[in-house]
Amino acid sequence: MLQPSCKKEKQDLIPNAYVDIYIYSNDPNFININATGGWVYITGGVKGIIVYRKSFNEFMAYERNSPYQPSQGCSVTVDASSNVFIDDKCSGSQFLITDGSVTKGPATLPLKGYKTSWDGSNVLHIYN
C-alpha cells in the first residue's frame, strides 16, 4: 500500500523584492505616463516594473518577471504595437495591461502587481 507523501512540491514563485519608489510626472523620463493609456519601464522589483496609467487618478504597476516559471527569469514587455497587451516572449503567454490578467497561456497566474498611490498632481508612489 502506498503512503501519501508528506513532501510538498516546491512552488516556482516570483521572489519578493522591497519596492518603495516615487515617480514625479513632471520628470521628462516619465512623460509617457502623463496621459491615460501611457506606460513606462522603471528600475525596481525583481526584473523591473511596468507603470501604466489606467485613468487620470489610477495607475497600475506590474513586476516584469514573468509569473510563468519565474525562476527562468524571463521578462515581460509591453506590446508596443497595441499598447493593450504585455507579452512573455519565452512562453508565449500574454497579459492585459489594464489589470495584469492572463489573456493567453500557458501562464495561469496574473502579473504580480505593486500598490500605487497618486497625489492627484505630480507624485506617484509605488510600493509593496
The pLDDT score that the predictor gives to residue 76 is 96
The pLDDT score that the predictor gives to residue 71 is 86
CA nearest to 41, candidates 33, 93, 111, 94: 33
The pLDDT score that the predictor gives to residue 43 is 96
The pLDDT score that the predictor gives to residue 128 is 94
HSE-CB of 96 using CA atoms within 13 angstroms: 7
The pLDDT score that the predictor gives to residue 12 is 77
All residue ranges of the chain with pLDDT < 70 are 1-10
Instruction: Find the radius of gyration of the CA atoms of the chain.
Output: 17
